[in-house]
Structure 1
Amino acid sequence: MPIHFIDFNASFIPEQEPILTADNRAFRYGDGLFETMRWMDGDIRFLQHHIERLQEGMRQLKLEKAERFDADFIRSRAAELIGRNGLEHQHVRVRLQVYRDGGGLYSPQQNHACYIMAVSKLDPDDVKHRKIGLIVDVYSEFKKPYSELSKLKTSNSLVYVMAGLHRTKHGLDDVLLLNQEGFLCESLSSNVFIWYDKKLYTPAISEGCIDGVMRKVVIDMALDSGMEVIEAQISPDILREADEIFHTNAIHGVQWVMGYKQKRYFNRVSRMLQERLAMVNC
């Protein structure tokens, strides 16, 4: 079996080789951020959006030299790593983890940023989007607290882990998370959009959802198409009344939700946005 490599601080290392010590801050405290990106047609889709979110998050976490992680750096490191793993002509998931180096307890001893980049092959048919929609439910055992940190993709992911266990246990395609006030926040790995009364709704960033790259792209496409887009506080009760629901993320694009409990949804707006997304040159 060929060796699969990761990029650990600009060194290519076999993925099975241990690289982290017991005092690693990402392991101990979730002290870091990550970006999950899609490589296709020789580049990362919507790379500039990913960079802006990553750099903003690094500055919020007081990580030094955020500007180092620019388009040239991320693109070149991803391209070389993909080549090392023989994935040049594939659709690839690129995961970039950035974390605070050094020791210390809750108070860090320094703010230097280290990184790990990993790549894995994606099913090329995945980009065509499934014709059979997702079956979802609301996960309410643990709710997501919100603050200025909530919009970041941080290494602290326990709420998502617990929601993932619930999804698997109940045989669902995805679950919808609630914020600490009981309003819709996001799904397990996506932002959520709801078509209701001829308007497109999505939870506001202030409601605790991730500031998603595909969320930005879809909002712009919807506005360009003449839709009214409302970012708001949304009760989960709307799920029983909505005409259509779909999820968005950087890997899968736009995913139609077919059903919630006994409710079934149309696939008109999401299909139109899927088609427009496929034509976007980024």
Structure 2
Amino acid sequence: MTPNLINYNGEILPADTKLLGISNRGFRYGDGLFESMRMMKGKLKFVDLHAERLQKGMRALHIDGYSQMDAYFLKEKAEELASRNKAKHARLRLTVYRDAEGLYTPTQNKNGYCLELQHVDEPRYFLNTKGLIMDMYTDMPKAINMLSNYKTCNSQLYVMAGLFKAQNRLDEAFILNQNGFLCETISANVFVLYQNHLYTPALSEGCIGGVMRQVVIDLAIANNVPMTEAQLDPEILNQADEVFITNATRGIQWVMGFGRKRYFNETSKLLMEALNRL
């Protein structure tokens, strides 16, 4: 089977091409960031939000060339790669790294990038038919700092939480911040419905500034669902009526259980229908 094609610094190559040298800073230090995106019917979804977060993250990391990586760049490169891969519906990952030598201190701040594509069969988001079973990962809280809201390549926390998930046969795991408050999950943002009010951890709590998080916040407001970004005590998970998680590739996924607690999924269904109408 012919491997998928990737875009490596503007060059279209087979995905199994050996590319990275031992001095690559993304490999050595996790010195970079990435965007996970969804394409439907040949069009990149929520491209303006992805471009805004990417550019803010590159500025925060002091990686040059962020002004060129705008919505037009993302659309052009994604559509070109999808065409070359004969894909209409896909998940894409753009990794941007600091293309420089040096030890901890880089010799320059030039950017390098790689855009990958994975085929998807369906042109819409689907709510999971079986709710997720989750637990709390507590061994490594997430630090709150100037990079907390971006998807950096330094992802050891999520790897360790992923091992916890696998060892305990879970579908996902909640992550707390350094102050012990609810932050996010391994791969998504968290929403909690409590007493007919929807809550999600505020960006000041250190969660990823998710593209789908913002889309769902806007959809909730548009559909008259009371919505607040807040500091959330994890105890709310034992009192909530509904919990769901969001990311750009899967949309909304409802949580069925946390410990002995079980949840409904009426609001997640409502918001998923609104999301697909977009």
The TM tier, using the shorter chain, reads: over 0.9
Residues 29-178 of structure 1 mapped to structure 2, 5 A cutoff: 29-87=29-87, 89=88, 91-124=89-122, 127-178=125-176
Tell me, yes or no, if structure 1 residue 215 matches structure 2 residue 213. yes
The letter of the residue matching 1:142 is M
Residues 17-28 of structure 1 mapped to structure 2, 5 A cutoff: 17-28=17-28
**1:226 Cα offset (Å):** 2.0
**1:122 Cα offset (Å):** 2.2
The letter of the residue matching 1:72 is Y
**1:214 Cα offset (Å):** 0.6
* Corresponding residue number in structure 2 for 1:196: 194
Q: 1:232 aligns with which of 205, 210, 230?
A: 230
**1:134 and 1:174 in contact (8 A); partners too:** yes
**1:123 Cα offset (Å):** 4.2
**1:200 and 1:229 in contact (8 A); partners too:** yes
Deviations 1:238-270 (A, max 9, x none): 111000000011011111111111111111111
Cα distance in 1 for partners of 2:161, 2:2 equals 34
Deviations 1:46-94 (A, max 9, x none): 010000000011111111121111222211211121222222x3x2011
Cα 1:45/1:125, change in 2 over 3 Å: closer
**1:211 Cα offset (Å):** 0.2
Q: 2:240 aligns with which of 230, 239, 242?
A: 242
TM-score (norm 1): 0.96
**2:190 and 2:243 in contact (8 A); partners too:** yes
**1:126 and 1:252 in contact (8 A); partners too:** no
Residues 180-195 of structure 1 mapped to structure 2, 5 A cutoff: 180-195=178-193
The alignment yields a C-alpha RMSD, in angstroms, of 1.2
Cα distance in 2 for partners of 1:130, 1:228 equals 24
Runs of 4 or more off by more than 4 Å in structure 1? Answer: none
Cα distance in 2 for partners of 1:83, 1:170 equals 40
**1:225 Cα offset (Å):** 1.9
Gaps of 5+ in 2: none
**1:5 Cα offset (Å):** 1.5
Cα distance in 2 for partners of 1:85, 1:10 equals 15
Cα distance in 2 for partners of 1:123, 1:260 equals 30
Cα distance in 2 for partners of 1:181, 1:235 equals 10
More deviation, 61-70/150-159: 61-70
Cα distance in 2 for partners of 1:3, 1:150 equals 34
Cα distance in 1 for partners of 2:229, 2:175 equals 17
**2:4 and 2:117 in contact (8 A); partners too:** no
Cα distance in 2 for partners of 1:270, 1:16 equals 38
Cα distance in 2 for partners of 1:119, 1:98 equals 15
Cα 1:32/1:180, change in 2 over 3 Å: same
Gaps of 5+ in 1: none
Q: 2:258 aligns with which of 246, 257, 260?
A: 260
**Percent identity of paired positions between Structure 1 and Structure 2:** 48
Cα distance in 1 for partners of 2:130, 2:64 equals 45
Cα distance in 1 for partners of 2:225, 2:81 equals 40
TM-score (norm 2): 0.97
More deviation, 220-229/191-200: 220-229
